Structure 1
Amino acid sequence: MSVEAQGVQDVTVDLPTAFKYRAEEYYVRKAYSSYYVRVIELLQTYDYISVTGTPGIGKSIFYDYFFSRYRNEHHEAIIVTASFNKDRQLEECVVFSPDGSSMIWDNTDFPNIGKRIPNAIHLYDGPPSVKPARSKMVTFTSPNFGWLDSMRKNVEAHCELYMPVWELGELGDAVKVLNLEISDEELTERYKQFGGVPRYCLAKSARAYRKGLIAMEQAIEKIKTLEDVQACFEMSVPLNLVVHRLLHYIPEEDPTFATLEFGSDWIGIRIYNQLAVKLSQERAKLMKWLDGAGKASTFNGWLFENLAHEKLFDGGTFKCVQLDERRQEISLTINRTIGHYERFATNFTLEMVFQNVYQIPKSQTFKSIDSFIHLGETLLLFQITKSLNHPVDCAGLVELFAKLELVDKIKQNPRFAQLIFVVPQGIGDSYKNQQLITQNLRLEDLMGAGVRCISGIGPVLQKKLHDKNIFTCSHLKAHSKDPEVKHEFELLTKHIDLLKQVCDLSYLNMIPQYVLEIEV
């Protein structure tokens, strides 16, 4: 069985590591396979690769995965492995030979290892002190200015590769696969606080989790002014004490580059409230600075989103322009939301919806919209963005309409719903009707697809189904009467229903779109 299907892999006992991994096996992320291929491809162009990213996401685990897979695929290769501490001091070096044997290398002779064993591949855990001569090297490390600065002039020989933080779903899969005693509620709470960092989200002891929380609280306390926020994104404050506790590295489409953003909404809101930058000139000043700071652009978008939420939450009369050829202007009146207010969850009840108040989703990954108001005769859908190009996920719209029990009503009268793009003042005149994007998988192709394509089926359920020789959706459908896969078949049925709804896009295209400008 492949590593991907298996979900776990044994830890390599004699592999030198910067930190001791106490478990005997680890969860294999889906990203490991694609990042392994990326590294191999980059080694065709570069001599040195630094696999890096947010601290605590398991780069050392990927180092183990990479070593095991490379050794399995390159039987004739000599592999030099080494671990380094945060001060770039060598801790241990082990050389693995093609015959399967391994040898601990003398630390005092490590600077000469490139000359003594030419053409080996070097795999390092932690920021190294030297780069090997006459060999390729991959190091797996958190961003370390000492190491990265030393390689900055080697732009033709060195390349960084940023790994992504974890999604809540794969954290949940890891809990099941590794048999961790963490409830779904506790995992969700940890994810809200730390974002996708398994060091704390998957911490086995309450003490380790609490230490992480205290460290994050201490970092937040150091952010006193807007200038501190600026310094944080410019990384001119201590990395380990502030930046790496609050900010995550988010890989761009080309993952050799990354942007910075707050690790979670919880962190952003804590800092936001601490600074008390409510509809003020100071916030406008900060947003103007952020417009020219690429690495902080995500936070700028987050600030604008909160500004827009505040204004819509306070209510009033807003001017909107319809995104069609006529560009007709309409007035939109929103009542002020009064009293205790909570964001809506994805499992909200209909009683919550018909309150005629501004509703914001709790989930950071809720599809298609940022908020909505049900006014009785109209459903206002708000998408807050600073981008001129913001495609809308049809599946997300249909999912929301289904939860509101409004699919049939909107099919009969698409103008019952109104999609409103909330943008900064000054770009409304250039705004165009936005594209609706559909599922990549068509209904007619579903039966031949693997069961992993079904929403809600991860590595754990996939392994369960594979053990029963159920590999495709067609196989699962054939087992519809099997009580052991009742839950999985229900997931398939829901997935089919959603695809059927998404396949009929004619009514979605008739939903009117508007642009609403917000003054910063």
Structure 2
Amino acid sequence: MMEALRSVQVLPGPGEVLKLGAISFVLHPEYDALFVRECYPHLFEALVCKPEPTLYIVTGTPGIGKSWFFYYILARLLKSTQPPPFIVWEHMTVPNMAWCYTHETGEVFKGERTSFDDVLMNRATWYITDGVPPMLNCLARTVLLTPPDRKIYKEMLKQSASLLYMPCWELGELLACRRLLYGTVDETLAKELYQHYGGVARFVLQLPKANPSKGLDKLLEELHEAVASCDTDQLRMSVGSISTGPDVSHMLLHIVADENFKMQHLVFASKWVAEEFVKEAVHYELQGLVSLLVSTSGALKRTIYEAAVHAVLSKGGRFTAAPISYDRESFWRGIEEALEFVPCTKQAFFEDLPDTTDTPPYVVEGVYAQLQAGTKRGAEMFLAGEAQKLARTEQPEPAPPTQQQAQKLARAKGVVPAANARADKAQPANDAAAKKAAAGKDKGKQEAKRKEEAKPKEKAKGKGKEGKPAQPADGAAASKGAPPSLRR
């Protein structure tokens, strides 16, 4: 294998395949080709970019390709300008045994791990272990590839090892790998498995390839068992520390890593997993689900909450609803109303909802129809069965509008709010101003009389040479009493 890796002329880039020809990988004899993940080159650079530290832990969600990353490390080291003089590696499937590659001769020796103590005291040596706690009484640059199990790497953390997380697969990356290496796996089946298992190549690609006669239901049996066997206490324990939680939780929760391979947060493996877990919890341990919801935050909390809403609404019943609208400066809660939903016995997903319609593509009585993904209305839910709006005897008072909302409402009605009223005598700012103007007319009888006597003079001034009304010189709007020809 090492000779085949040394003979590779050009290392493949992300999305390409590293092939060994007729030679198989030493720890995976059934494979002779490796798909280079998008993260592999960047993750390798993180291992070599600094002289210190010399201890590294590469972990992440089980089944995403950490063990395969080992072969990529070997290829990069062998093709580097200064290959290490020795590369020692161990694997969990062969306890207490190790392999040692000598670059000078190109030979690989296999023996007990203690046989290579002298080699491991060389600072230029690379020491790689897969699922096995490495020997720490050495000077070699050490890389541990491991699932998120703290028992395996806790001693390395005590010696200030750098902890790096490999990200899960995206769907596009999985489909690219399927086209190149897993052609016997149907693309539709791979997509369906991704919708359930999430971005884990072991279940999306390797599992169906190894079991070509099994359909989707059979391939999902292991996931169903994991959901059924994990309760809210176990999940809460895993949320607190994924590296110390039960093994079954790794099929339900996935680790999200950032661009620097540091852990950001946890998410459910898929929307399906979240909803199935929550449905079980609603039925058997509702209080535990409430406690889990309170103790979580961020994306995980939102997913649990959404799944809980789906689970509760699909059971039917009477609910109180209120329309709300909000922006950065205000929050508006409308009048409440009672809604009664018919219980649903089945659940169905539809993938798309055109933006030009407000109804799902189909409605079947007794079926909870739920939008799966893909449109602007991704947050909308549709409950099959007619919802009956029940009249309330006393409608609750809506929350008072904010100043900004009041101004918008006033502008829509064509009335200037009192706070923003301008000096426009032709239009009162509010009702109080209108009453005040009317009272002023009644109070000054003598002033009104003088105006009445002055009308003939004003009428004469308003005539042109031909006795026609004159247009206002400034183009201003005429008063309500002006002739039709002067009104704008």
TM-score norm. by structure 1 comes to 0.59
Preserved CA contact (<8 Å) 1:261 1:299:
yes
* Superposed displacement of residue 49, structure 1: 0.7
Partner Cα distance (1:160, 1:333) in 2: 53
* Superposed displacement of residue 202, structure 1: 0.8
Preserved CA contact (<8 Å) 1:360 1:371:
no
Preserved CA contact (<8 Å) 2:351 2:371:
yes
Q: Output aligned runs, 1:44-55, within 5 Å.
A: 44-55=51-62
- The alignment status of 1:182 with 2:190, answered yes or no, reads no
Q: Which amino acid aligns with 1:50?
A: I
Q: Which amino acid aligns with 2:188?
A: E
SS at match of 2:349: coil
Seq. identity, %: 18
Q: CA RMSD in A?
A: 3.9
* Superposed displacement of residue 181, structure 1: 0.9
Q: Which amino acid aligns with 2:100?
A: V
Aligned to 1:152: 157
Preserved CA contact (<8 Å) 1:248 1:260:
yes
Q: Output aligned runs, 1:369-518, within 5 Å.
A: 370-372=378-380
Which of 213, 225, 231 does residue 218 from structure 1 map onto? 225
Partner Cα distance (1:283, 1:333) in 2: 27
* Superposed displacement of residue 101, structure 1: 0.7
Aligned to 1:22: 30
Aligned to 1:264: 270
* Superposed displacement of residue 47, structure 1: 1.1
Partner Cα distance (1:208, 1:147) in 2: 36
Aligned to 1:37: 45
SS at match of 1:152: helix
Preserved CA contact (<8 Å) 1:343 1:360:
yes
- The alignment status of 1:318 with 2:325, answered yes or no, reads no
Q: Output aligned runs, 1:239-318, within 5 Å.
A: 241-252=247-258, 254-276=260-282, 281-291=287-297, 298-309=299-310, 317-318=321-322
Aligned to 2:19: 10
* Superposed displacement of residue 264, structure 1: 2.1
Preserved CA contact (<8 Å) 2:238 2:246:
no
Aligned to 1:206: 211
How many residue pairs were aligned? 360
Q: Structure 2 vs 1, CA of residues 126 and 186 (structure 1 numbering), >3 Å: closer, same or farther?
A: same
Preserved CA contact (<8 Å) 1:162 1:258:
no
Q: Structure 2 vs 1, CA of residues 348 and 101 (structure 1 numbering), >3 Å: closer, same or farther?
A: farther
SS at match of 2:88: strand
Partner Cα distance (2:242, 2:44) in 1: 32
Aligned to 1:138: 143
Partner Cα distance (1:347, 1:182) in 2: 29
Partner Cα distance (2:64, 2:139) in 1: 31
* Superposed displacement of residue 31, structure 1: 1.5
Aligned to 2:130: 125
Aligned to 1:169: 172
Residues 360-382 of structure 1 show CA distances to partners (whole Å, capped at 9, x for unaligned) of 5424xx477642379xxxxxxxx
Q: Structure 2 vs 1, CA of residues 347 and 168 (structure 1 numbering), >3 Å: closer, same or farther?
A: farther
* Superposed displacement of residue 354, structure 1: 5.5
- The alignment status of 1:73 with 2:80, answered yes or no, reads yes
Preserved CA contact (<8 Å) 1:128 1:139:
yes
Q: Please list every run of 5 or more consecutive structure 1 residues that lacks an aligned counterpart in the other structure.
A: 292-296, 375-428, 430-520
Preserved CA contact (<8 Å) 2:193 2:203:
yes
TM-score norm. by structure 2 comes to 0.62
* Superposed displacement of residue 104, structure 1: 0.6
- Give the stretch that moved more between structures: 339-348 or 244-253: 339-348
Preserved CA contact (<8 Å) 1:318 1:333:
yes
SS at match of 1:276: helix
Residues 142-171 of structure 1 show CA distances to partners (whole Å, capped at 9, x for unaligned) of 22333211123112xx01111111111111
Partner Cα distance (2:51, 2:243) in 1: 36
Aligned to 1:362: 372
* Superposed displacement of residue 121, structure 1: 2.1
Preserved CA contact (<8 Å) 1:120 1:135:
yes
Q: Structure 2 vs 1, CA of residues 226 and 72 (structure 1 numbering), >3 Å: closer, same or farther?
A: same
Preserved CA contact (<8 Å) 1:248 1:261:
yes
Preserved CA contact (<8 Å) 2:353 2:361:
no
Q: Please list every run of 5 or more consecutive structure 2 residues that lacks an aligned counterpart in the other structure.
A: 1-9, 383-401, 403-488
Larger Rg computed on CA atoms: 2
- Give the stretch that moved more between structures: 67-76 or 196-205: 67-76
Aligned to 2:66: 59
* Superposed displacement of residue 349, structure 1: 9.9
Partner Cα distance (2:269, 2:79) in 1: 36
Preserved CA contact (<8 Å) 2:100 2:116:
no
Q: Which amino acid aligns with 2:301?
A: N
Partner Cα distance (2:145, 2:333) in 1: 55
Preserved CA contact (<8 Å) 1:51 1:162:
yes
Partner Cα distance (1:283, 1:373) in 2: 22
Structure number with higher relative contact order (C-alpha < 8 Å, ≥ 6 residues apart):
1
* Superposed displacement of residue 333, structure 1: 7.3
Aligned to 2:429: none
Partner Cα distance (1:235, 1:5) in 2: 32
